[in-house]
Structure 1
Amino acid sequence: MPHPAAAEPLSSEVSPIEKARASARILSRLASTSGHVARERLLPRPVRTAADIPVSAEEITADWLTAVLCDRHADARVLSFEIPGGSTGTSTRHGLRLTYNDAGVAASLPTELYTKTTSSVTQRLIQGLAGIIEGEIDFFNKVRPRIDIETPHGYHSAVDRRSWRSISVLENISVTRGATFLHSNVHFDRKAIEDLLSDLATLHGTMWEDPEVTRSDSWMPTPHDLLMSIKTSINMRKRSVIGADRAKAVVPTSLREQADDLWFAFERSMAQATLGPRTFLHGDAHVGNTYRTSEGRTGYTDWQMVRRGSWAFDVALSMTTVLDVEDRRAWERDLLGFYLERLAKAGGEPPELEAAWDLYRAQALYPYHSWTYTIGRGPLQPKMQPDELCLPIIERSAAAIIDHGSIAAVS
């Protein structure tokens, strides 16, 4: 089977018919999802077996937890549990603290967990229409057991594709590993970025040209698929321009004046990130999805945006958003060599350093557009990140585009 690089160039054009179909799909899904959520609230169903999918943590029962956590230990049972706290964003999160019977204690079953559910219409539409509602679930069910990296363990994940109701039961690393969640307001030293790149190399090498990523009916979308979803469902181009203006304190005028060239280069970079040897991608490996354990190990969380494509997509997204500009400029060539060496050891087939550098420098365009879009949100869009956390990432990615000549790199 030839690599995608041998195929015809990928088209990023969206016809009026395709846009109309996408609009019709959105309206249809809005109606059906709203109906499902209304029925769930009016007629809640008991949650007892592993086949049941709770709407939220409040619906969880000890019987259900026993079914999903104790299935390999016949005598183990969950006796009781607490919900110590929660939060709501693109998903609804709640902590769980479990008490087992003696058999469960003897089996060392997990006691500190948290759940992620899609409880509201908005959450289901955001994740479902973006094509990411199944990504994290499939990651924890199919990929996480195969890789040894610093990331939470998953214990149960499921989705109902008709209603887009979903749940993931994960390790609560804030308790089990003393994790502190990080963002762009935290400085990353050389060891921290090497931790992240080492884990990406392990992930990419383990899944290099794996059947999960190469087969035509793979459950994983590509970066080009993400681009096409963006173009048919949201006006990212317009909102990115607005975002660059709102962030003009950190975006050079020379870059803001190249908005059209930037967008077309971004389209080409997403196609480029889809071609060539494929591997499994975190897909959202930015600084806001990182954490540090009490032992000083840095890792990635939040696996909703998983993709299949070029390793360079993840590596550029990581280095561009995690590192301060001066640190990136000083370290990035060495760090790229560090990553490539570990990729080879993990089973990947990396290109030579100079060829890898050309692939890497083309991929600063996605972090720039995704974060200018975030800060350029419209009045009806949710505020996904505070401006003070967006601005450093926009500044870093804008500097990387200029430093790397990213527009020319994809021409």
Structure 2
Amino acid sequence: MTKNMHSFPISTDDITTELLTDVLSEHRPGLVVESFQLANTELCGDGFASTADQVVLDLKYAEGSAPDMPGRVMLKTMLVSPHAPKAMYLNEVRFYHDIRPHIELETPQCYASLFDPQNGQFGIIMDDLNVKGASFPKATQALNLQQISGLVKTLARLHAQFWNSSCLKNEFSWIPTPCSGGMFDIFSKFGLGIITEQIRKHPFKQSLIDPIGLNLDQMWQIMWEVERHFEVYQPRTILHGDSHIGNTYLLPDGSGGLLDWQLIVMGCWAHDLAYLIVTGLETEFRQRHERDLIALYLEELKRRGVTDIPSKNEAWLLYRKAIIWGLVIGWLITPPENYGIDITKANISRLVNAVQDLESFNAS
């Protein structure tokens, strides 16, 4: 997983058959990439790729050297320089290297994952989901009940497998929590300042949160109180950690999957579920269906063997509280350049509507 990346590409011109053969043959001895073609490139800040660059490659292998490998793959990396803190890239590399082989979940298959701790450079070669006919929803679109239900079931499947599992204290103890490790130091020390600067540069963010009636300091304090309570009193499981609708995909059969594991944490299930439902649905549609979607999630946990499932009333309270993180850390801190102003506004609007109608900041 850890590798010196001194020869890793800083542009698509630097991608070579030798480099691809080297990284892909680590777990497939004898694999040889004879040639490749560049099919597509999505760069960070173009409205699709947020904190990494994505390069789609068509590969041709030496005959018989790669019988189980797809012809088209996606390289997720960063060209030229990092776009985010090292911890985010390391998180995703470790997810694909350490966790992905042990889960049956709708998320891309990984064929190589590398990280250079010296400079934060990383590379992950994975499925190109377009080959499967995937579509990629956004908060500017309207999902139907079947689509959001499929994604809810995917979250439940992930959470159920690791619900209060001993592996969280052993082989996966490296996974951070919202209140320790990973991005915590950056969020806790610099997050409020970053948000303050974001609002100064982009006044539309202040206009969107004005109806809440709280200042940033108050929102910040309440958010951390909620997260610390979750950490002490709630069951732990592996969370996607950044499960807004833009980090999901939908397949033609109605199922849904999860993308972008840079903020993986272990913690309270509601962290993921609330963020998904609120950013994934238009406000009135969410209001009509969110209780049923929470019930679906709880039923799916039970079906998958979880015994200490929260009651519906407790789940409802945790869901209401968990929305705060998605608003504050999820989107007030995120530069509009990452996804574009329209998507940023849509996410913040949905989250603000939710914390208001669910009285999230006063939930008890």
Distance 1:72 1:168 in 2: 14
1:60 to 12, 15, 18: 15
Match of 2:249 in 1: 291
Provide the secondary structure at the position in 2 that maps to 1:330: helix
Match of 1:409 in 2: 363
Indicate the larger mover: 355-364 or 113-122. Answer: 113-122
Match of 1:92 in 2: 53
CA-to-partner distance for each residue in 1:293-315, whole Å, 9 max, x for gaps? Answer: 34443322111111111111001
1:362 and 2:311 are equivalent in the alignment: no
Pairwise CA distance, 1:347:
3.7
Pairwise CA distance, 1:62:
2.4
TM-score (norm. length: structure 2): 0.86
Distance 1:240 1:347 in 2: 43
Distance 2:211 2:194 in 1: 20
Distance 2:200 2:283 in 1: 23
Structure 1 residues 116, 74: closer, same or farther in 2, change over 3 A?
closer
Structure 1 residues 402, 217: closer, same or farther in 2, change over 3 A?
same
Pairwise CA distance, 1:120:
3.2
Structure 1 residues 121, 79: closer, same or farther in 2, change over 3 A?
closer
Provide the secondary structure at the position in 2 that maps to 1:164: coil
Contact 1:273 1:312 in 2 (8 A): no
Structure 1 residues 292, 216: closer, same or farther in 2, change over 3 A?
closer
Distance 1:73 1:145 in 2: 15
The 5 Å alignment of 1:297-376 reads 297-348=255-306, 349-370=308-329, 372-374=331-333
Distance 2:60 2:107 in 1: 24
Distance 2:31 2:284 in 1: 54
User: Over alpha carbons, which structure has the higher Rg?
Assistant: 1
**Unaligned regions of 5+ residues in structure 2, if any?**
45-50
Match of 2:337 in 1: 383
The 5 Å alignment of 1:159-238 reads 159-174=115-130, 176-215=131-170, 218-225=173-180, 226-234=183-191, 235-238=193-196
Provide the secondary structure at the position in 2 that maps to 1:224: coil
Distance 1:290 1:351 in 2: 25
Provide the secondary structure at the position in 2 that maps to 1:95: strand
TM-score (norm. length: structure 1): 0.77
* AA aligned opposite 1:80: S
Pairwise CA distance, 1:185:
1.4
Pairwise CA distance, 1:265:
1.2
Provide the secondary structure at the position in 2 that maps to 1:397: helix
Pairwise CA distance, 1:75:
5.1
Distance 2:324 2:172 in 1: 28
Structure 1 residues 351, 371: closer, same or farther in 2, change over 3 A?
closer
Contact 1:281 1:306 in 2 (8 A): yes
Q: CA RMSD in A?
A: 2.7
**Unaligned regions of 5+ residues in structure 1, if any?**
1-36, 46-52
Distance 1:77 1:216 in 2: 32
1:399 and 2:360 are equivalent in the alignment: no
Aligned residues between the structures: 350
- Identity over aligned residues, as a percent? 27
Distance 1:212 1:59 in 2: 39
1:134 and 2:90 are equivalent in the alignment: yes
Match of 1:28 in 2: none
